[in-house]
Amino acid sequence: MTLSLMQLSVTDGQICYRLPFDHNPERKKLYVISGFPILAWSSGMFWDEANAWFSYQAQGIPISSIKLATIQNNGYGLLSFMKFLEIHDLDWDYLPIVSAERAINRYRGHLIYMRDEGVLSPSTVSARMAVILRFYRWAQHHNILGGSQFEKITCKIIRVRDQFGRMARMPLSFSNLSIPNRKRTVDVVEGGLIPLEIADRDLLLDFAATNACPELYLMLKVAFFTGLRIDSICDLKLNSLEWAYPDNNNKLYWVNVGPNVKGAPVKTKFSVNGRVLISKDLLDELKTYSKSMRRLLREGKAHGSDKHLLFINKNGRTYCRIDGISSSSINGMISKLKKKALHNHLDISDFHMHRARATFGTSVVLAGLALVPKIHISTVISFARDLLLHKDEVATMTYIKFIQNREIKAAFADEYTRELIGSFAMGNHNE
C-alpha cells in the first residue's frame, strides 16, 4: 500500500490532516511511502497489531532511522509466522502457563526443525525468530499483550578488551527464545544448503513434467541447469532468450543477466551483471513456451513491463514481489507438487528452489575438479564463480569444501556439466 504520514491538527474544533513541510516539496515527499507492507489473514481480516507495528516503525523512514526495506523484511518474517499460525489454528497472543503450548514457542521449534532438515539456512532461522521477538516486545511495551511474560531474559558478563587493551566487563542480555546463528555440522554449500544428487534431481524433474504446471516445470529446469536464483528466473525477459548467443560448440548458449542489460534487465543478487550458460535444447524449449497460447493469454492480461517477462502468472502479473523476491505463489506450487509426490510414494518434502541452484553449482565444480591438473583449480573456481554470479569467491569455495568432504563425487558428474566444463577447458568459449 501507499502510506502517508499525516500531521494531525485541530482548527476551530475541526480535525485536519495534512502532510508536513508544505513549504518544502522535496522533504514533503519523504512522508509518502509506497510499497509499504500490510498483512491480512486468509479470512481477509487485517492483522491489526502487526500493521500497527509497521506504522510505528514507519515514523523513522523520513529521518532515515530505518529503511523501508527493513520494514518489508519484517513483514515477510511475520508472514511466515502467520502461515504457521493458520496451519496450526493458533492465536499469536496465546500465552498459556505451559510455555511449550505457546504459539511463539511452537514456532521457534518449527524453525529449528526447518534448519536441522536443511530447508532453511541458520542465518534465515535466526533472523526470522529475531523479527518475531521484536514484534512481541513492542506489543508488550505498548500493553497489547497485557502483563503476560513470553520470554525469560538472563544477563551474562563477558570480558572484552577496550581500545587501550585493558580487559573490561560487559553485561549482555540473552532471551531463552532467540535462536543463535549456528552452522550445521553436516557439509553444506552457500546459504547452508545441501545439494540433491543427480538421480534425485532427475526423479523430481520427471515427476514435475507430468504433475506440475508448465511454468513451475520450466522454472525447475532453468534452476537445475543454469544455476540462476529463483528471483532471477522470475525476471527473465523474452529478449533474454532472443538475444542468447551460442558458444563455439553450438550446444550451449550464453544468456546475459543483470540490471545493466539494456532492453532485457534481469534482477540478480547484489545487482551483479554477468552471463549464464544454457543448453540449446532447454533454450528452444523456453522459446516454444514463450510463443504458446497459454503464455500469450497471460501476456494479454499483463500491463507495462510485465508483458515482456517470460513467466507471467495467471492474473497477468510477475511472479516477483515488489522487492524482487520470488512470490509465495511459487512456494504454493511447490507445496502442491510435494503433496502429489507423497501421494505417489515420492518424498521430496525437503526440497525448495534454492537447492536446485546448489545442485547445479556442485555439479559444475565437480566436473571442473575432474579436469585438474589439466586446468588449474583457480580456473575452475573462477569459472564456477562467474556462472553462479557470485560477488566474490568466498561462496564458490563452499562448493569446493563440500566436494572434498563428501564421498559423493561420482553422483554429481552428469553429462551436462561434464560437457559444460569440458567446453570451457578446451577454450571453446566466447569472451
CA 51 to chain CA centroid, Å, is: 23
pLDDT score for 28: 87
| Listed ranges 133-147, 186-200, 275-289, 402-416; the one with the highest mean pLDDT | 275-289
User: What residues form DSSP beta bridges with 320?
Assistant: 326
pLDDT score for 324: 44
Whether the pLDDT of residue 192 is over 70: the answer is no
> Could you read off the pLDDT of 343-387 as tens digits, one per residue?
998 988 888 888 899 899 888 888 887 777 777 888 888 888 999
Q: How many angstroms separate the CA atoms of 196 and 408, rounded?
A: 11
pLDDT score for 163: 63
The SS3 assignment for 235 reads: coil
Domain boundaries, given as residue ranges, for the chain: 3-141, 202-350, 356-425
Q: How many angstroms separate the CA atoms of 255 and 388, rounded?
A: 13
pTM of the model: 0.62
**Residue that has been written with the C-alpha cell 546459504 in this structure:** 191
Say if domain 202-350 classifies as CATH 3.90.15: yes
Beta carbons of 125 and 114 less than 8 angstroms apart: yes
Taken in order 393, 281, 418, 245, is the CA torsion positive or negative? negative
> Could you read off the pLDDT of 49-78 as tens digits, one per residue?
999 999 999 999 998 899 999 999 999 999
Q: How many angstroms separate the CA atoms of 328 and 347, rounded?
A: 22
Q: How many angstroms separate the CA atoms of 85 and 103, rounded?
A: 7
> Could you read off the pLDDT of 305-356 as tens digits, one per residue?
999 999 999 999 998 865 444 456 788 899 899 989 999 989 888 888 888 9
Q: Which three cell numbers stand for residue 403?
A: 566436494
